[in-house]
Structure 1
Amino acid sequence: MLTLRGVRKSYTLGSDTIHALRGIDLDIARGEIAAITGPSGSGKSTLLNLCGLLDSADAGEVRYDGATVAAGNEQERTALRRQTIGFVFQSFNLVPVMSAHDNVDFPLYLLGIAASERQRRVAAALEAVGLAAFGQHRPDQLSGGQRQRVAIARAIVKHPRLVIADEPSANLDAVTAAQIVALMQRLAHEHGTTFLIATHDERLLPHCDRALNLDDGVLAGGSYAH
C-alpha cells in the first residue's frame, strides 16, 4: 500500500543541518496497523509527514498503491491526500468555532459529497468514537480526550485507505484507548484501512501488527505483535 525506498530528509536550523531521516526503506501492507516508536526528535513526525504526503523527500522514492508520487508535484500529492488519507494530529487541529459535528463533516464538504451522505457518515463516525451525544459541542466545551476522539472521527469519516496518527492515545484513558484500538482493528480487518501510528504508548503495541523503532533518522527492523 505504501513503499519508501532510500528516503532522506534534512532541515537547516541556523547554521546546522538536521538529518531527520537517513535512508528509510519501508513497506506497509494494505490493512496493516504499523506503529513507529522511538525517542522524541528521532524523526517520527517527519516520517509521518512524508508518508501522509504533507511533505516531500530530499532523496529517495515514495510509492502509494504502487505508483510513484513525484516529489515536485504538489497538485498530485494534495489530491491523493485529500481523497485517500486521514490524519490524527497530536495537537488535534480542530477548528475552534466549529462544533464536533462540523469538524468531522468538513473533509466530506471539501470533497463535494452530498449533504445527506455527509450526515450519515458523520453520525456513524461520532458513534464509533463514543461521541454521538456531543456533536453540537465546540472543542473548548470538550475534554482533551474527547477532542482527540473528534480528531479520530474526522480522520475516518471519509473512509480513507490510509490513516496517519501522531500519538492517537496520548490524551485517552485506558478504557477509551482500548475502544479506539478496537475501532482501528475493525476498520483494518473489515475495510482494509491501513494505519501508521507514531506512539510512545506501550498499551497500543500489542494490538498493532508490527512495531518499528526509529532512532536518529534510522529505522530498525520491526517486530510483529502477532
Structure 2
Amino acid sequence: MNAGEPLLSLHGASKSYTLGGNTIRALHSVDLALARGEIAAVTGPSGSGKSTLLNLCGLLDKPDGGELLFDGEPLPAEHEARRTRLRRQAIGFVFQGFNLVPVMTAHDNIDYPLYLLGVSAAERRQRVLQALERVGLAGLGGHKPDQLSGGQRQRVAIARAIVKRPRLVIADEPTANLDAQTASQIVGLMRALAHHDGTTFLVATHDDRMLPHCDRALLLDDGVLKGTFHAH
C-alpha cells in the first residue's frame, strides 16, 4: 500500500438500470479518486446519479463497465467475498433515514456492527461508549430512537458508522433536515475524524452549509461527472 495512493478510485465507471423495458443510464464513464482523510461532497440535481455513485463506492453495487480499485488493487465484480469483507470491515454507512432499529437502544444500534464482526463483548462495550462520547451522546446510550431528537438520531447513525473504525464513510445527506447548530456539530465531527483518524468521507448533499467544510465538491449531472471544485 502506497500512502500517497488513493484509498478508492474509479476508472471509466458506468452503471445502467432497466426499468419498464427502458435502459436508464445512471452513471457514464466516471473517473474519481478519493484520497485518505479527504471529505468529498457529491452535488447535483435529484436523479443525477449521486446515490448510484455512493452505492458503487460503498461496494453495495457493481459497475457495468470500468474499474474500481481499493488500496490500489482492482476489485472486480466477481470478487464477492473480498467485496463483502471490505464492506463489513472497512466501510461505514450513514443513511438519510438513519436506518436505526427502533426496538434497540442507541447503545445496541451502535454495538451491532461490532457484534457481526465477532468483536469481544468487553471491547464492544468500550468502543460503543467511546463512540457515544465522541458524537456528544454520552449518557444517552439507553435511549431508543423514538426517545431522541432528529439530530441525536443522526449522531447515533454516525457513531454506528465509525465504531468499527472504517477507512471510508459513505454518507447520504447527513445534515438534511437538521438545524444549523446540529448540522455544524455533525460537520465538525466529520472533519475531526478525517483529520485525526485519516477517515475518508464521500457525502451526497444538497446542503450548501456543508460545502465550505469539505475538501472539494463533485458536480454530477445526468450520470456524468461535470467538474470538481475546491469547496473552501
Q: TM-score range by the shorter chain?
A: over 0.9
Q: Report Cα offsets for 1:152-193 as digits up to 9, x if no partner.
A: 110111110000000001132111111111111111111110
CA RMSD of aligned residues (A): 1.0
The structure 1 residue matched to 2:141, chosen from 135, 139, 142, is: 135
Residues 220 and 227, structure 2, Cα contact 8 Å, conserved in 1 = no
**What amino acid is the match of 1:185?**
R
Q: Give the Cα–Cα distance (whole angstroms) in 1 for the partners of residues 159 and 18 of structure 2.
A: 35
Aligned-partner SS, 2:151: helix
Give TM-score scaled by structure 2 length. 0.95
Q: Give the Cα–Cα distance (whole angstroms) in 1 for the partners of residues 112 and 99 of structure 2.
A: 12
The structure 1 residue matched to 2:152, chosen from 111, 126, 146, is: 146
Match of 2:45 in 1: 39
Aligned-partner SS, 1:135: coil
1:159 aligns with 2:165: yes
Residues 106 and 144, structure 2, Cα contact 8 Å, conserved in 1 = yes
Match of 2:24 in 1: 18
The structure 2 residue matched to 1:85, chosen from 72, 88, 91, is: 91
Task: List alignment gaps of at least 5 residues for structure 1.
Answer: none
Cα drift, residue 72 of structure 1: 1.9
Aligned-partner SS, 2:27: strand
Cα drift, residue 65 of structure 1: 0.9
Percentage of matched positions with identical amino acids: 72
Task: List alignment gaps of at least 5 residues for structure 2.
Answer: 1-6
After TM superposition, the structure 1 stretch with the greater mean CA deviation from structure 2, 88-97 or 52-61, is 88-97
Residues 41 and 214, structure 2, Cα contact 8 Å, conserved in 1 = yes
The structure 2 residue matched to 1:112, chosen from 110, 115, 118, is: 118
Give TM-score scaled by structure 1 length. 0.97
**What amino acid is the match of 1:102?**
D
Aligned-partner SS, 1:120: helix
1:12–1:6 CA distance, 2 compared to 1 (3 A)? same
Residues 9 and 19, structure 1, Cα contact 8 Å, conserved in 2 = yes
Q: Give the Cα–Cα distance (whole angstroms) in 2 for the partners of residues 181 and 143 of structure 1.
A: 17
Cα drift, residue 73 of structure 1: 2.1
Misfit runs of 4+, over 6 Å: none
Aligned-partner SS, 1:136: coil
Match of 2:200 in 1: 194
